[in-house]
Each structure stands twice: as structure tokens, then as C-alpha cells.
């Protein structure tokens, strides 16, 4: 039986505006056959939220999500519970559900874990991926040159940067690596987005990416693995030095 949509007491000030601004969902054209459809949609929306660009908390509103998706609140409630167990959401007593922001130390540890897993993926690409698959990596950066500098097209480059790191995992051909990195993506992705434009990091970023791609093209698995690992560990070192201004 559905519970009443009425809630007790006033909503926290600014909560609804925050959730509307941060969460992007599209209504289903028909009722979902399985609760997993709601879970997949909500998880995708949560992982795409830009939670580290502001210190304001990002709230999840069960009623609002239900209305946005065009479904009852029961599968939404179940999806929220699953995302809580995975560490993406957490309940705040008498207030609601908030999207989890990691501490500086937790973010560094997640980036280090990503570096280890991504470097293994890069080795597998060099060893086993087809030339066409490897070509996909280089095509991500084909439009960037002296006339189209990454630092002057930051939003465009940031998207290419994130696509590159996701492609390294996907092109490894390892479903296990894809599964192991999926829940790291929310936080590592968010930190990459807000740091890429700082301290001229774009210039070094594209140099690193092209070096990794060249090593893969040459089928030098050891070099590709090392370059990939050091590139991402560079982000961990940057957060270590400057994280106070990023994660506070």
C-alpha cells in the first residue's frame, strides 16, 4: 500500500531548489516493468550530478523523483534504498536524503584505486584491443590543436577528458573492471571536472593523454600502463596539495 505523499513539518530551506537544479531526469513513456529501470535511471542521474562544484548539499526528494519519472513512489523508494547501500546517498534525520560528498582523504583513496584499475585496463587495451578500438581514443582529441586549445574550450575538453578515462575502462574488454570502477565514477568524475581548468592543468592533461595513446598504438603495454597510472596519480597529488579549496 502506498504511503501518503504528505510529509510532516516544513521542508528544509532551499532543499527543493537544490534538488531541481542538480538532478536531471526524464519521465518514462510507460510504467516500468521492473524496479531496476527506476534504479538505473536514478543512479545515472545521481552519478551525473556536479556535487563538488558547490559546497551546498544536494538533496534527493522522493516525491519529486516520482513525479519526474512518472512512476509511483514505491520503486523510487526501493531505488533510493539501493543507492544508500552503495554509498551514493545517505539519510539525514528529519531532513531527507542527501547525495554523498566524500572527504579529501576518501577522494584521494578513490583516485588511487582508479589509477590502479585504469592502468590495468590500459595494459589490456595495448595487448588485446583492435586498431579500430584504439583509434577511438585518438579521435576524442582530434579537434584540439594550437588553433583549438583545450584551455580555451574548457567545457568541450572536460567532456573529452572524462570520455577518455571511461573509454580506457570500457575498451579493456573486462566486465569485472567495468563493474569495479562504476561506483568510483561519481566522485572521481566530479573531481576531474572541477580541477581540469585549474593551474593550466589542461595543457599537461592532453600531453599525458596523447602519450598514453601513442604507447597503446605501439603495443607497449608496460609503458602504457605506467603512463596511465602516473597520469591519474597526478590528480591524487593535486588534490592532496589543493584539496582544502576543492572539498571544503
Domain 104-247: state its class: mainly alpha
Structural domain boundaries in the chain: 15-99, 104-247
Q: Are 203 and 151 in contact (CB under 8 A)?
A: yes
Nearest to residue 61, comparing CAs of 46, 51, 44?
Answer: 46
Share of residues in the chain with pLDDT > 90 (%): 44
Architecture of domain 15-99: Orthogonal Bundle (1.10)
Closest among 209, 126, 216 to 164, alpha carbons compared: 209
What distance in Å separates the CA atoms of residue 49 and residue 198, rounded to the nearest whole number? 20
- Give CA–CA dist 23/208, Å, rounded: 32
Sheet holding 89-92, edge to edge: 59-60, 96-99, 89-92
Q: What is the pTM of this model?
A: 0.74
Q: Give just the sign of the alpha carbon dihedral 163, 166, 172, 174.
A: negative
| Closest to 217 (Cα-Cα) out of 143, 101, 107, 129 | 129
pLDDT in tens, 63-108: 999 999 988 899 999 999 999 998 889 999 888 899 988 888 988 9
What distance in Å separates the CA atoms of residue 73 and residue 67, rounded to the nearest whole number? 9
The Cα–Cα gap between 55 and 57 comes to: 6
Query: Where does the pLDDT of residue 242 fall: very low under 50, low under 70, confident under 90, or very high at 90 and above?
Result: confident
For the residues 204-228, what does the mean pLDDT come to? Answer: 96
Q: Is 214 helix (H, G, I), strand (E, B) or coil?
A: helix
Pairing, β 59-60 against β 89-92: unpaired
Q: Give 123-157 pLDDT, tens digit per residue.
A: 999 999 999 999 999 999 988 888 888 777 778 88
Amino acid at each position: 500500500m502506498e504511503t501518503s505523499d504528505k510529509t510532516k513539518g516544513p521542508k528544509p530551506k532551499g532543499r527543493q531548489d537544490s534538488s531541481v537544479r542538480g538532478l536531471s531526469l526524464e519521465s518514462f513513456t510507460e510504467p516500468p516493468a521492473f524496479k531496476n529501470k527506476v534504479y538505473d535511471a536514478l543512479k545515472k542521474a545521481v552519478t551525473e550530478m556536479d556535487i563538488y562544484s558547490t559546497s551546498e548539499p544536494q538533496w534527493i526528494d522522493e516525491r519529486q523523483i516520482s513525479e519526474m519519472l512518472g512512476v509511483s513512489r514505491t520503486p523510487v523508494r526501493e531505488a533510493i534504498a539501493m543507492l544508500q547501500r552503495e554509498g551514493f546517498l545517505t539519510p539525514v534525520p528529519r531532513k531527507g536524503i542527501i547525495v554523498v560528498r566524500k572527504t579529501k582523504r576518501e577522494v584521494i583513496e578513490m583516485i588511487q584505486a582508479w589509477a590502479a584499475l585504469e592502468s590495468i585496463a590500459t595494459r589490456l587495451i595495448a595487448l588485446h584491443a583492435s586498431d579500430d578500438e584504439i583509434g577511438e581514443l585518438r579521435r576524442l582529441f582530434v579537434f584540439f590543436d594550437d588553433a583549438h586549445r583545450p584551455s580555451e574550450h574548457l567545457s568541450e575538453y572536460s567532456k573529452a577528458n572524462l570520455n577518455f578515462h571511461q573509454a580506457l575502462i570500457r575498451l579493456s574488454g573486462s566486465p569485472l573492471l567495468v563493474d569495479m570502477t562504476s561506483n568510483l565514477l561519481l566522485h572521481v568524475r566530479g573531481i576531474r571536472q572541477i580541477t581540469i581548468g585549474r593551474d593550466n592543468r589542461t595543457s599537461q592533461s592532453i600531453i599525458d593523454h596523447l602519450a598514453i595513446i601513442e604507447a597503446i598504438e605501439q603495443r607497449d603495454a608496460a609503458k602504457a600502463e605506467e603512463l596511465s597510472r602516473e597520469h591519474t596519480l597526478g590528480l591524487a597529488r593535486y588534490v592532496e596539495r589543493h584539496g582544502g579549496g576543492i572539498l571544503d
